Structure 1
Amino acid sequence: MKKLTVIAFILFIGIITSNAQVRVSPGIRGGLNVSTLTNIDDNKSKTDFYIGGLVNIKFNKYFSLQPEITYSRQGDQGREYLGNGFNYRYVNYELNYLTLGAVAKFNIGGKGFHILGGPSVDLKISDNYINSNPEDFDLAFVGGVGYTLPNGLTFEARIKQGLIDIYGYDGINNDNNGYYYNDVILNQVFQIGISYTFKVK
């Protein structure tokens, strides 16, 4: 009984100590989006921006969890054919999302360099598609690397890969009307930017 009491007491002290080390810091983030849509012939990437807020929950010098809310302007550049059917120009196709996500950050050696990864739910705010209606939401996975300075300024590069076809196709062959939906069309974004976390006493 005494042994169980001692073990329980040690665990209790450990939990309290662990919780005492947790630091919560709000912050802001923003940067450059280079976005495209996969499996579309002759499209180009589109350059735009993202901006948002974050809360960095630092458990120890090696690991933190960072919930984020971000306005992300995505899409691609696609061909728009002119009246003769031969000439064309590239126009920006907009897919703008409110992104709710959380990334786990692992600080290498407990220092400034870190790797990160995590999921996000993207809710479509607007688009400029005329002849089609993209899905209202997307699920994505984010991965990347970064470096945080002692003053809270962070530089990061991320890749964001959408997981849901923007037109709702599931990648299963379907020969209704002579079409085959083998290649789903997914959001794909390269992000480079900065963030800043405020020190809370």
Structure 2
Amino acid sequence: MRKISLIAFVLLIGLATTQAQVKVSPGIRGGLNLSTLTNIDDNGMKSDYYIGGLVEIKFNKYFTLQPEITYSRQGSDGSYFDGNPGQNTIPKDTKYELNYVTLGAVAKFNFGGQGFHVLAGPSLDIKTSDNFGRYGYDPIGTDLAFVGGIGYSLPNGLTFEARFKQGLIDIYGYDGIDYDDYYYDQVILNQVLQFGISYTFKVK
């Protein structure tokens, strides 16, 4: 009984010590989006912005979990035919807009416990608006994405990051199976390069 009590006490002390090392700090983030959509006519990168908040949960100097909520303006440069392409109409340049509120969480791994880190994690993107209605299309309301990137954090709480965000769901909800000649290599996915900064507030 004493041995069990001693083991339980040691485990409790160890858990309390571990919990005491966890630091939770709120922060803000924002930056540049360079976004595109796969498999659209004359697709090119569209520049816009993202902005949001974060909570940094620092378990130790090597590992941090960071939940985030972000407003992300995405889409693509492209072109469309105003009429029937078979009538030799001239394609018109346009900007496709897809705007999301993203709920994500990235795991950060600091090399040597210093400022340089790599990060990765998932996000759920909830569409807030788009301009596809003018072209007769209606993208679905959600996307799942995977984020990966690198960054560097300064001791004052300022962090510089570069990320790549890959959407995993076709913007119209197709799953890669043949739907009336709609094949996998025509699936339209979000892709975003993000360059930005974040600031984490020090909480005593």
For normalisation by structure 1, the TM-score amounts to 0.93
Counterpart position of 1:31: 31
1:142 maps to which of 147, 170, 179? 147
Identity %: 70
After superposition, the C-alpha distances for 1:60-89 in whole angstroms (9 at most, x for unaligned) are 111111110000000001113467845334
Of 165, 168, 173, 1:168 maps to 173
Is residue 134 of structure 2 the alignment partner of residue 124 of structure 1? Answer: no
Residue correspondence of structure 1 range 62-77 to structure 2 within 5 A: 62-77=62-77
Ranges in structure 1 where 5+ consecutive residues have no aligned partner: none
TM-score normalised to structure 2 length: 0.92
Number of the residue aligned with 2:91: 88
Q: Larger deviation: 1-10 or 142-151?
A: 1-10
Corresponding residue for residue 3 of structure 1: 3
Q: State the number of aligned residues.
A: 198
Indicate if the aligned counterparts of 1:169 and 1:181 stay in contact, CA closer than 8 A.
no
- The one-character-per-residue Cα deviations of 1:143-201 (angstroms, maximum 9, x if unpaired) are 11100000000000001111110011110123x3xx23222211010101000000011
Shift of 1:54: 0.5
Q: What root-mean-square deviation, in Å, do the aligned CA atoms of Structure 1 and Structure 2 show? A: 1.5
CA distance in 2, matches of 1:58, 1:68: 14
Q: Distance in 2 between matches of 1:137 and 1:31?
A: 22
Partner of 1:133: 138
**2:163 aligned with 1:158:** yes
- SS of 2:99 mapped into structure 1: strand
Tell me the CA shift for residue 42 of structure 1: 2.0
Q: Distance in 1 between matches of 2:41 and 2:141?
A: 23
What residue in structure 2 maps to residue 45 of structure 1?
45
- The worse-fitting range, judged by mean Cα deviation, of 78-87 and 2-11 is 78-87
Q: Which runs of 5+ in 2 are unaligned?
A: none
